[in-house]
Structure 1
Amino acid sequence: MILTIRNIVPIIKAQWVGQNNTAIIEYISIDSRSLQNDENTLFFAISGPNHDGHSYIEELIQKGVQHFVVTKIPSTVTGKANFLVVENTLDALQKFAAFYRSQFDFPVIGITGSNGKTIIKEWLNFLLSPDYNIIRSPKSYNSQVGVPLSILGINEKHNLGIFEAGISMTLEMEKLQKIIQPTIGILSNIGSAHDEGFSSVAEKIKEKLKLFVSVNVLILNKNKTICAFVNPKIKIFSWCSDDKSADVFITKKNIGELTELQVTYREDTFPITIPFQDQASVENAIHCMMVMLYFGYNHNVIQTRMAHLYPVEMRLKVKNGIYNCTLIDDSYSSDFQSLKIALDFLENQKQHKKKTIILSDIFQSGLSNEALYSQVSQLIISNKITRVIGIGETISQFKNKFINCDTFQNVAEFTNAFENLNFENETILIKGARDFNFEKIVSLLEEKTHETVLEINLNAIGHNLSFYKSKLKPKTKMMVMVKAFGYGNGGFEIAQLLEHHKVDYLGVAFADEGISLKNAGITVPIMVLNPETTSFSAIIQHHLEPEIYSVKGLKAFLKIAEQKKLKHFPIHIKIDTGMHRLGFEEENLQDLIAILKGNETVQIKSILSHMATSDDLKHDAFSKSQIALFEKLSSQLQTELNIKPIRHILNTSGITNYPEAQYDMVRLGIGLYGISNDAEEQKELENVGTLKSVISQIRTIDANESVGYGRRFIAEKETKIATIPIGYADGIRRSWGNGVGYVVINHKQAKIVGSVCMDMLMVDVTDIDCKEGNTVIIFGENPTVNFMAKQLNTIPYEILTSISQRVKRVFFRE
């Protein structure tokens, strides 16, 4: 569908200000980072609580973007582009998507519920794609922004839509209903997710049901509570396992690792076997089966296809690869919409100048192969991909459309040629349809480490950052601490995310941490908190900014700076207001002033201090005395040196407990990583790091037999013991063993028995249904780092920073 600026103006009720209202729009964007933005892009400047798309307009114009939907035209860009001025840019995006959806007339499945939406969508796509050309939400694009972007992927060749809708508060679903306009509804379930956004369960049910006000049929698990809120005019197609009055009655039994469903529909009973046993997966599969029944599929087709359902990976993962490569693993998905998302993620997470994509044939684009691979080629060119490796019969036919491209008919051919492809010092996006088994490629390219990983949720980091930003005054700057390898979570990947979110400063402990970030391409100013005098030359060379906390250190730095003939090199002055660790005290402030007065070699970029008890309101008087002393001494420096630097004293706890002392900047530390000592604040934060391992071996021991060094555990009865390949060399304290701590296996707690070994620990799984190779949660949502710290009489910082570098970090985005 071709639209011009002139067409779009009345749709979104905009006032047009510009010179060319006949310009053709081919791409809608809200992401200033996307390399897909060009002269045919219409950029919606979305304004949120912590980000304002208007601030990126000047930068986007320089990159060639000429068309913007705005609430105001920034003075710096007046007359430089086409502007569509509206009252609310998000509302305008939603109106445009609703109009676009109304131009197509085919069945659309709308899915909502507390859990399972993305899995049901992906499984329906798998089950129905042999017979339909499907457009679906990429990944879990189900929000107020994600839904309109998903809808805008529809083209004229699609004949079935599957879209999910997620809400967290009232008044949201009506907007999504107007955009999706579903003809078939699926209510997956009602759980506790986002309870805080609703006054009651009833209010949540009513809000979710608003998605289905105009559907031809609503598919749900028959439930008296939910059905009581459904409009009686809506046709319900229900299933149930304990109410035979449902349209479809289902019983189930476990067979090995499978579940057999006995399905009774219209007086006909037939079996369906699915490769899962957990209740959530079974319910999700049943919803998919209900759609197939509604569409009239025969039993044999349903049985055959559902037997091949598979675990859905909903995350893009960043992994360490061989020969200093970085991998982005998206090896179970290959469609045009998700390719755009993956390429944007590649650009955001790239760690090397060289960028490679390994891509399978793309399915269900709705386009002819010629048109599809032409568009894929343009997408890859705009994202400045260095090398393309195509795998599949179809993409091989279009090799000539790609620059620097090798193609293979299948993964086996690629594997045979692997040694000659010379992967080294590059970021590699691995993106393939499930049938291609690209996990084999990931295995070839992934750095071989042991089976314990620390998974870092980049979405959670973004959420936690936004939470603390929401506490700040509009002009308060933010420094984020990424010292100690990002509190154990990883340095560069998190620094890159923070750079995108436009934090003002990063803080590291030592120069080598900052040098590593600078060498990796981080451009945000970096302050070194504990610089050693031997590192001053390297700090200057790599444009880092040292914290100066003593006369001796200042003189040493000035000597080197003067030798290098520097002018106004940024430094940060640390004042000791009561922490008594580092900093200038009140009695030597005059010496500091005497040295700096009239000195043009350095520039005092900021004055700071550190609070000792901001997390403990029992010491409120002491904290306030620190703030008062900081005010006095920093003001004295400002007056006598005639300067106006940034001032900052608050750390994570201080942001919450002493908002009156924000000054010009605050320093966010462990709060970014989802840890707070305040119980109420902890509820608002999202878990960032999940430490996982696997079961290496399971054995059964008899009563009176022992486990581990020193025979510290003696079995009282026959006991099943699982060995996990993680120990104190990985950062798990020995004191967490001997029944103090536990791990989680298949949602159940397994007590650690005996001593934690250097590389292993053992747990009691007598009452847990598990097998070798099953995933083990060491910490994350349960047990939390806070819980572990409390049990071990330590602090969360120590738990996080103790995780050794031999534990592989895997970064992912939902």
Structure 2
Amino acid sequence: MSDLTYAKINLDNLTENYGTIKRMTGDCRVICVVKADAYGHGVIPVVRRLRNLGASFFAVANLSEALQVRAATRRADILILGYTDPRCADILVENIITQAIISKSYATKLASAAMSTREQKPVLGHLALNCGMNRVGIDCTDRGVNEASAVLALPGLRINGIFSHLSCADTPNSEYTDKQIAAYNKTVEAIEAKCGKFAINHLCNSAALMQLPCQNQDAVRAGIMLYGLKSTPDTPPLTKPVMELWSTVTHIAHVCKGQPISYGAAFVTERPSRIATVAVGYADGFRRAYAGDVIIPSAGGARAPIVGRICMDMLMIDVTDIPGVTVGTDVMLFGSSGITADDVAARADTIGYEVVTGISKRVPRVYN
């Protein structure tokens, strides 16, 4: 192909991952989280594949993402987990998009905006509770129960779901997670006693699904598990990586001992070396902090170390001990075997989410 750097997206692995999650969750509805361009994998192809597999509910971060999903499927449910300007109430209604109701004041403004439209149709909503994340949501307190009851009575809203988020679900045996679950369940029970049962109740994300399978409620929000990366630091993923990042050797240099490589002269050769330049850099989302080994598949999966600082558009690798590397040789920076996005993340003391969502738009996605 003409692109020197590209991300391979294995939709067959996505298919297998969705099947794994369905088997784990039984009768629970799976809400497929496709925010951030499906975690960098490309939202339209991902949604279309998941719809073909029977997925019928998607979650995103904002209105623009919701409209992308709606363009890919006219029939599925879509939940915006973040904030939408109340002035966009008509867009939510027209596109049958469900909005997270994150506070009483927000609910009042959104309901008022909905009733001010020509058709005066209510906005669909899921009530967000704050059970300890302290990010958004109505507090899990007696006051919060009263606020929720008032929100549910607003004529401009039709709220059929309730949810919250666990802040330490990726920590095994977390006492704080237990406290959050107890607070959430108690608050949901109190609200339902006053206002009736919600049609859908969801608390668990991917990490909670791994650690707390008994807390699946009516639905689970499957995010990073869909894409085959770790949701908990110390537990191998049960699903397969969907993204691989590839690039190409564009230059071979024979460098004498004692010569610096790349910016800052931070690396100096300790022997006569063959240095290959690869057409990928931090502008592609492969950050300077990701320096480590890459894989040369044509050399039996041999690993070559990145030497010198990663540049904006290029990086250099030492192929002195790897015969056969020439201009045009393929290089895998991470993938489904050998070096994963989680491995790259560990080099920068971060998480795989940041690696895959950070692969830039100039890197084309190539689908199997």
Considering the TM-score relative to the shorter chain, is it more than 0.5?
yes
Q: How many Å apart are 1:618 and its aligned residue?
A: 4.4
- State the partner residue of 1:638: 192
Aligned residue number for residue 48 of structure 2: 496
Please give the alpha-carbon distance, in whole angstroms, between the structure 1 residues aligned to 2:7 and 2:338. 14
Aligned amino acid, residue 491 of structure 1: V
Q: What is the aligned counterpart of 1:467 among 4, 20, 23? A: 20
CA contact (8 A) 1:604 1:645 kept: no
Task: Give 1:717-756 correspondences, 5 Å limit.
Answer: 717-737=271-291, 741-745=292-296, 746=299, 747-756=301-310
Is 1:588 the counterpart of 2:140 in the alignment? Answer: no
Instruction: Return closer, same or farther for 1:804/1:779 CA change in 2, 3 Å cut-off.
Output: same
1:680/1:459 CA distance change after superposition, 3 Å: farther
Aligned partner (choices 332, 337, 343) of residue 787 of structure 1: 343
SS in 2 for 1:485: helix
User: After superposition, what is the alpha-carbon deviation per residue over 1:326-375, rounded to whole angstroms, capped at 9, x for unaligned?
Assistant: xxxxxxxxxxxxxxxxxxxxxxxxxxxxxxxxxxxxxxxxxxxxxxxxxx
**How far apart are residue 733 of structure 1 and its match?**
1.3
Note if contact 1:694-1:775 (Cα within 8 Å) is conserved in structure 2. Answer: yes
SS across alignment from 2:246: strand
* Aligned amino acid, residue 182 of structure 2: A
Match of 1:433 in 2: none
Task: Tell me the residue number matched to 1:526.
Answer: 78
2:357 to 787, 793, 801: 801
Question: Which 5+ residue runs of structure 1 have no aligned equivalent?
Answer: 1-442
Question: Can you list the C-alpha shifts for 1:529-582, whole angstroms capped at 9, x where unaligned?
Answer: 112315433323322111110122111210111112444542011000011111
Q: Is the 1:452–1:692 contact (alpha carbons within 8 Å) kept by the matching residues of 2?
A: yes
Q: Over aligned residues, Cα RMSD in angstroms? A: 1.8
Quick one: which amino acid aligns to residue 190 of structure 2? Q
Asked if 1:550 corresponds to 2:106, the answer is no
Q: Using CA pairs below 8 Å that are at least 6 residues apart, which structure has the higher relative contact order?
A: 2
**2:152 paired with 1:601:** no
User: How many matched pairs?
Assistant: 359
Are the aligned partners of 1:606 and 1:646 in contact in 2 as well (CA < 8 Å)?
Answer: yes
Superposition deviation, residue 682 in structure 1: 3.0
Partner residue of 1:513? 65
Q: Partners of 2:259 and 2:112 in 1: how far apart?
A: 68
Distance in 2 between residues matched to 1:600 and 1:654, nearest whole Å: 34
Identity across the alignment (%): 29
| Contact preservation (8 Å) 1:610, 1:651 | yes
TM-aligned CA deviation for residue 625 of structure 1: 1.4
Check 1:748–1:535 CA distance in 2 against 1; reply closer, same or farther (3 A cut): farther
Q: 2:265: which partner in 1?
A: 711
1:250-399 equivalences in 2 (<5 Å): none
TM-score (norm 1): 0.43
Q: Distance in 1 between matches of 2:224 and 2:286?
A: 19
State yes or no: 1:762 paired with 2:310: no
Whichever residue aligns with residue 501 of structure 1, its letter is: L
SS at match of 1:703: coil
In structure 1, what is the Cα distance between the partners aligned to 2:287 and 2:127? Answer: 37
Residues 752 and 764, structure 1, Cα contact 8 Å, conserved in 2 = yes
Structure 2 spans left out of the alignment, 5+ residues: none
C-alpha distance in 1, partners of 2:235/2:19? Answer: 13
CA distance in 1: counterparts of 2:131 and 2:95, whole angstroms: 30
Sort the Cα spacing of 1:751 and 1:802 in 2 relative to 1 into closer, same or farther, 3 A: same
Supply the distance in 2 between the matched residues of 1:548 and 1:594 (Cα, whole angstroms).
Answer: 12
Distance in 1 between residues matched to 2:303 and 2:178, nearest whole Å: 43
Q: Is the 8 A contact 1:496 1:522 kept in 2?
A: no
Secondary structure (helix, strand or coil) at the match of 2:328 reads: coil
Name the TM-score, length of structure 2 as normaliser: 0.93
Tell me by how many angstroms 1:782 deviates.
2.2
Aligned to 1:67: none
> How much has 1:648 moved relative to structure 2?
0.6
CA distance in 1, matches of 2:192, 2:138: 15
Once the two structures are superposed, residues 309-338 of structure 1 have per-residue CA deviations (whole angstroms, 9 ceiling, x without a partner) of xxxxxxxxxxxxxxxxxxxxxxxxxxxxxx
C-alpha distance 659-762 of structure 1, shift in aligned 2 (>3 A): same
2:245 corresponds to which letter in structure 1? L
Contact 1:607/1:648 (<8 A) preserved: yes
Residue pair 2:252, 2:276 contacting (<8 A) in 1 also:
yes
